[in-house]
Amino acid sequence: MSGNTIGKLFQVTTFGESHGLSLGCIIDGTPPGMKITELDLQKELDRRRPGKSKYTTPRSELDRVIILSGTFQGITTGTSIGLITHNTDQRPNDYTNIQTLFRPGHADYTYQKKYGIRDPRGGGRSSARETVMRVAAGAIAKKYLYLNYGILIRGYLEQIGNIFCKLETWDEVEKNPFFCPDVTKLSKIEKLIRTLKKEGDSIGAKIVIIAEKVPIGLGEPVFDRLDADLAHGLMSINAVKGVEIGDGFSVINQKGSQNRDEMTKNGFSSNHSGGILGGISNGEKIVAKIALKPTSSIKKVGKTIDHDGKENDIITLGRHDPCVGLRAVPIAESMMAITIMDHLLRYRAQCGKL
């Protein structure tokens, strides 16, 4: 029940620090008989990998994941699956100069105060590097959901700074390093990133995650609603400061007559709810949106204090994304996949075959 586990039936427990020896996780509850290889995981890991393009951190981790247990001859056996990836491109020295400084916007301060000790190398456990294992575990959930239920989980960049990207088709999303569906915005985004790098600054972003073909009935009222668990999973991603389901905050100025999704014999006439009614999936697309804050590790001088409370200026060296949102899509997809997988198993437990 400690903080490093998510899910109740499809349960993922992770470990590892940014500049430690390895990152790993244990996945418990995977149904037996599923074909799963390291390639299935690698495909997803490569989508989030740093150094993927000149627009993200140049840290070049190969992130080779190894399946240590839980499969026999490439088939899941129903026992716990151990995954590991070794940190190869460690540069702890980048951080020695700030070991006793609290980087503004980072968890340095809260980890130090909570635990009385912290791994200062790249933020240790609080680094976004921790998300590698979320993506590896998510890949297993994604594959299972797709193969057995045709559930398709995809995400894209809807906004970065004040640039809005419209989704016409999914074709472009995987063709550019921004997961941007809107080709007409690519040059704008590239220009923005270049400018930010020059300024040594960063920017926020908004990501949309959509799950299609989710069966009706997933979600357990009153507390473990599907939307509540999605909010938990998505808000647990570094830098996320807001979560919306369906129309999200735009419902504030909507009327009931306009917001409620009416039904005809052909199904729902609209999807303001984002595919969830009373905490249970209704068969429509599940739509979740998240806001990611701008990277706090920037080269602009900032004011902070050290462990003794002494004031000090700080410039964050190391290799960082000007927009963490740009790599958040595979991570957010994974959290949605893990959550839906968990609720699918929970449905089967109480309500039988799906």
Q: Is 334 annotated as contributing to ligand binding?
A: no
Q: CA–CA separation, 188 vs 347, rounded Å?
A: 45
Candidates 173, 280, 331, 332; binder of a second copy (CB under 8 A) is 280
User: Residue 188: how many CB atoms within 10 A of its CB?
Assistant: 17
The label of the residue with tokens 């006439």 reads: 269
Q: CA–CA separation, 114 vs 85, rounded Å?
A: 28
Nearer to a second copy, 45 or 160 (CB): 160
Q: Is 126 annotated as contributing to ligand binding?
A: yes
Q: CA–CA separation, 135 vs 338, rounded Å?
A: 10
Q: Which stretch binds a second copy (CB under 8 A): 24-32, 41-49, 182-190, 326-334?
A: 24-32
183: contact with a second copy by CB under 8 A:
no
Chain mean position to CA 78: 25
Q: CA–CA separation, 351 vs 207, rounded Å?
A: 33
Instruction: Kindly identify the residues of this chain, within the stretch 126-155, that bind a second copy according to CB under 8 A.
Output: 126, 130
Nearer to a second copy, 75 or 152 (CB): 75
User: Both tokens of residue 246?
Assistant: 């369906």
Nearer to a second copy, 169 or 257 (CB): 257
Q: How far is the CB of 137 from a second copy (least distance, A)?
A: 11
Q: Which stretch binds a second copy (CB under 8 A): 41-49, 119-127, 137-145, 165-173?
A: 119-127
Q: CA–CA separation, 63 vs 327, rounded Å?
A: 15
Candidates 186, 279, 285, 315; binder of a second copy (CB under 8 A) is 279
- Could you tell me if 201 and 320 are in contact, meaning their C-beta atoms sit under 8 angstroms apart? no
3-state SS class at 44? helix
Instruction: Kindly identify the residues of this chain, within the stretch 72-111, that bind a second copy according to CB under 8 A.
Output: 72, 75-82, 84, 102, 104-107, 109-111
Nearer to a second copy, 169 or 253 (CB): 253
Q: How many residues bind a second copy (CB under 8 A)?
A: 153
> Residue 83: beta bridge partners?
25, 67
First-to-last C-alpha distance (Å) of the chain: 28
Q: CA–CA separation, 125 vs 343, rounded Å?
A: 28
Instruction: Kindly identify the residues of this chain, within the stretch 208-267, that bind a second copy according to CB under 8 A.
Output: 216-217, 219-225, 227-236, 238, 241-265
> Residue 71: beta bridge partners?
76
3-state SS class at 307? coil
Q: CA–CA separation, 130 vs 140, rounded Å?
A: 17
Nearer to a second copy, 39 or 352 (CB): 352
Candidates 135, 151, 160, 337; binder of a second copy (CB under 8 A) is 160
CB-based burial label for 181 (10 Å; 0-12, 13-18, 19+): buried
Q: How far is the CB of 47 from a second copy (least distance, A)?
A: 20
Interface pattern 314-353 for a second copy (x via CB under 8 A): -------------------------------xxxxxxxxx
Q: Is 18 annotated as contributing to ligand binding?
A: no
Candidates 281, 318, 333, 340; binder of a second copy (CB under 8 A) is 281
Instruction: Kindly identify the residues of this chain, within the stretch 195-214, that bind a second copy according to CB under 8 A.
Output: 196, 201-206
Binding site residues for NADP(+), as ranges? 48, 54
